[in-house]
């Protein structure tokens, strides 16, 4: 049968089917499922590595190229772009668009294992490569936590952490991040003239403060059937502990930091 000839000879039938298709399309369009935030998966990750003091050529040869070669062996990789700067390596990894969204989390795990394998081969002084694959995360709701006078930054941070613990367990919440958190810092202002008069090296003072605040495994003592843990409690717990830190001088004496 010639479809074109039949359509010209029976126009009423053609118009009837067109009307049915038009009405059915309008009716179906109103019943289509819709989402305000449609899910989508971004199949790109960035690997950042710091190499302080290195030139772009050294970063490219010692950091960027080894990471790129290791990532190339990962299945499903579509494109790799790299950028080497002073003291910084940036590698962009893009997976095949045809990969199903359900397989992407496994690919991120494989990528991190590849980066972990190449880490021992990186030069001394290079930082641990950081893999960032959170480009598709979108914050739907922002909440601001305010407080009257009398509340310290630490108290506000503790309350924010408490709220985060409860909110992250709500159905549909995948991640909760805190912004504007004030980190506690102790600033020690040193008189260079007084250090010079006592023969104290400022670098030695910094190393002393850093080593004093480390947690060290002091071992265990076995007494018959009892096993006693030895705890060397020398870390700083207050401003007074830092102020009472003894500093050895050039003449063999010790002075308080305070």
**pLDDT number for residue 250:** 78
14 backbone dihedrals φ, ψ, rounded to 5°: -65, -45
Sequence-distant contacts of 234-241: CB under 8 A, at least 24 apart: 236/212, 239/186
**pLDDT number for residue 152:** 84
**pLDDT number for residue 256:** 84
Task: Say whether pLDDT at 37 is over 70.
Answer: no
More confident residue, 173 or 218: 173
Say if CB 181 and CB 157 are below 8 A apart: yes
**pLDDT number for residue 38:** 61
Say if CB 199 and CB 249 are below 8 A apart: yes
User: Which stretch, 25-39, 163-177, 233-247, has highest mean pLDDT?
Assistant: 163-177
Mean pLDDT within 24-53: 82
Sheet of 44-50, strand order: 77-85, 88-95, 44-50, 130-132
Domains and their CATH numbers in the chain: 44-132 (3.30.70.1430), 138-185 (no CATH), 192-256 (3.30.2090.10)
Mean pLDDT within 245-257: 82
With 0-12 / 13-18 / 19 or more C-beta atoms within 10 angstroms meaning exposed / middle / buried, residue 162 is: exposed
Task: Say whether pLDDT at 245 is over 80.
Answer: yes
Quote the pTM value: 0.55
């Amino acid at each position: 049968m010639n479809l074109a000839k039949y359509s010209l000879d029976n126009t009423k039938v053609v118009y009837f089917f067109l009307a049915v298709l038009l009405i059915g399309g309008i009716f179906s369009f109103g019943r289509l499922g819709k989402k305000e935030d449609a899910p989508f998966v971004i199949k790109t990750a960035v690997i950042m590595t710091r190499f302080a003091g290195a030139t772009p050529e050294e970063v490219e040869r010692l950091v960027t190229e080894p990471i790129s070669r290791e990532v190339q062996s990962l299945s499903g990789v579509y494109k790799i772009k790299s950028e080497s700067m002073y003291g910084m390596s940036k590698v962009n990894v893009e997976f095949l668009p045809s990969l199903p969204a359900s397989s992407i989390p496994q690919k991120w795990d494989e990528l991190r294992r590849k980066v972990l394998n190449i880490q021992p081969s990186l030069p001394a002084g290079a930082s641990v490569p950081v893999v960032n694959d959170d480009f598709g995360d979108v914050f739907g709701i922002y909440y601001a936590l305010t407080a009257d006078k009398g509340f310290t930054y630490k108290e506000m941070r503790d309350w924010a952490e408490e709220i985060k613990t409860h909110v992250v367990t709500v159905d549909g919440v995948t991640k909760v991040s805190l912004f504007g958190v004030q980190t506690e810092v102790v600033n020690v202002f040193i008189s260079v003239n007084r250090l010079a008069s006592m023969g104290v090296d400022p670098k030695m003072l910094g190393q002393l403060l850093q080593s004093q605040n480390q947690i060290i495994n002091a071992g265990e003592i076995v007494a018959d059937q009892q096993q006693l843990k030895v705890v060397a409690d020398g870390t700083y717990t207050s401003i007074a502990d830092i102020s009472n830190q003894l500093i050895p001088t050039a003449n063999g004496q010790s002075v308080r930091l305070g």
